[in-house]
Structure 1
Amino acid sequence: MSENGQNGGNAGDDQRQPIFLLPGVVTALIGIITAVHIAATLVLNQGGQGELIYWFAFLPAQIMAMTQQLDLGLPLIWTPFTHALLHAGWEHLIFNMAWLAIFGTPVARRYGAVPMLAIFFLTSAAGAALFAVTDWNSGTYLVGASGGIAGLTGAGVRFMFQPIIVARHPETGEPVALGRKLASLGEVMREPRARTFSLFWIILNAAVPLYPLFTGEAVQIAWQAHLGGFIAGFVLVGLFERAAIAGQ
């Protein structure tokens, strides 16, 4: 009886699910961003942190510098992307990593590692672009993964709320789940949950600039990056959908 019980336990072990259900690419990206923050806060001194911000955060004022001295504008080549790897504090990091896990997972599972990373970094750059337009001469810099996470959110909202398409197996007749379709803008607006989520998300971020008018307090939220990333993700995901279909 003892041996049978152990054998049964071993058989069950073969069916165990992993503790972490995140896709590998999402786990790796969270690990890299967290490692960067640990190094920035625990390894670098104040001068090193300043250099990190200068060379890897997104600073719109460097656009003007590039027209004067090429070397000062050189970070513009990579900072629209690398700013997404930096964070202003632990609370900022933890909040963003939680949202990255939530919205990066469905995109990674649908399209794979490389497309998910492409959407993340391209929409980070789109968010940086809108930030530059609205903060051209402010001297402020942009850090944080929220623009890219907003892009993953915009991409995910086009299929996460859609009904699962079910077909019949040609031989057995059993129902087979085929997944969810990528919805158009009109279809997103006709689906109550997708419409409510999208409008609430857009309106909430668009209202951030009005907050100081009622409270008199400044808000350190890059709402421009959120909006730019979300819109870019909503649009760009169609390109990855067509590439995925073509590759089948």
Structure 2
Amino acid sequence: MNVYQFDQERKRRDEERKQREREQRPSQPPAFNLPSAIVWLSAGLIAIHVVREFLIPAGWNNMMIYFLAFWPVKYTALASLHALDLASSLWAFVSYSFLHGGAMHLTFNLLWMAIFGSAVVRRFGLGRFLVFSALCSVGGAFAHLATHWGESAPMIGASAAISGHMAAAIRFVFELGGPLGVFRSSDRSAYFVQAQPLAECFRNQQVLVFVGVWFGLNLFFGLMSGGQTGSIAWQAHIGGFIAGLALFPVFDPVPQRRH
């Protein structure tokens, strides 16, 4: 072997050694281990809140609340509403979800969406996730309307949609091989385990504890607020949750596990 061949062989072995070291080196987790849809939705909600709070006059903010928030009182006199008011009474079933009452309100919703919305969007894909979220918002608005008929206080916040995310997530995250299951997979396949039938789902102790705590907190804070303006719209949360349970099999791309 001449000097040139020796040098080439040495370089080849060095490259092989470096390649083995790269393969054996533990991969570093990304700074934000969230689906891009959740990141962009969160950024959009934050941007809307910043614009309302700091960048536009109070009169414009009040106009946004008037035309985008969900006002139960509007539905008592639909026949007498002007065209724009009538249109806003339709899109308000979804648009109220983009407004929040304060930084704390927004922060909690973003946290819950990051936890449960991430699991759902990974399973559903972006298109199904957005339509599913909108319909859960509608479910929450109907529940609020039924229990606050004629009230003049507006409802805002994404909590009903996120409650729907929670309802969808419990159908599969606690399954064996799921993201939170006892025997769980660490790769993306964890989000595509077959969902158990709803009746079996509510025999799962983890699901029962989670749902019990969630309902308890909603009822507690709702009753403590005494129905005052700015209180938690816990009926809308429950409406969104029920809508999420009902709509999950319609949107789920994974065939449901049978008995």
Provide TM-score, normalisation by structure 2: 0.79
The 3 A distance-change label for structure 1 pair 238 and 139 is same
1:222 alignment partner, one of 233, 251, 257: 233
Match of 1:20 in 2: 32
2:76 alignment partner, one of 47, 51, 64: 64
Match of 1:168 in 2: none
1:52 aligns with 2:64: yes
Return the offset for 1:70: 3.8
Higher strand fraction: Structure 1 or Structure 2? 1
- Partner Cα separation in structure 2 for residue 78 and residue 244 of structure 1: 31
Match of 2:170 in 1: 157
> Rg: which structure is higher?
2
- Partner Cα separation in structure 1 for residue 55 and residue 206 of structure 2: 45
1:132 aligns with 2:128: no
Q: Secondary structure at the match of 2:80?
A: coil
Alignment-mate amino acid for residue 61 of structure 2: Q
1:239 aligns with 2:250: yes
- Partner Cα separation in structure 2 for residue 115 and residue 220 of structure 1: 31
Return the offset for 1:77: 1.8
The 3 A distance-change label for structure 1 pair 14 and 162 is closer
Alignment-mate amino acid for residue 239 of structure 1: V
Contact 1:66–1:74, Cα closer than 8 Å, also in 2:
no
Return the offset for 1:244: 4.7
Q: Secondary structure at the match of 2:202?
A: helix
CA offsets, 1:44-99, max 9 Å, x none?
11101110101111111111242212422220121111111100111111111011
- Partner Cα separation in structure 2 for residue 218 and residue 44 of structure 1: 24
Alignment-mate amino acid for residue 133 of structure 1: A
- Partner Cα separation in structure 2 for residue 119 and residue 226 of structure 1: 15
Contact 1:66–1:73, Cα closer than 8 Å, also in 2:
yes
- Partner Cα separation in structure 1 for residue 168 and residue 191 of structure 2: 19
5+ long unaligned stretches in structure 1 = 166-175
Contact 1:155–1:235, Cα closer than 8 Å, also in 2:
no
Alignment-mate amino acid for residue 240 of structure 1: F
Aligned Cα root-mean-square deviation (Å): 3.1
The 3 A distance-change label for structure 1 pair 67 and 131 is same
The 3 A distance-change label for structure 1 pair 95 and 209 is closer
Provide TM-score, normalisation by structure 1: 0.82
Alignment-mate amino acid for residue 204 of structure 2: E
Contact 1:151–1:229, Cα closer than 8 Å, also in 2:
yes
Task: Write the mapping of 1:80-159 to structure 2, written as runs, cut at 5 A.
Answer: 80-159=93-172
CA offsets, 1:12-63, max 9 Å, x none?
7995542211011111111111111111111111101110101111111111
Q: Secondary structure at the match of 1:80?
A: helix
Which of structure 1's runs of 4+ aligned residues deviate more than 3 A? 10-17, 176-179, 206-210, 216-219, 243-246
- Partner Cα separation in structure 1 for residue 236 and residue 88 of structure 2: 18
5+ long unaligned stretches in structure 2 = 1-13, 179-188
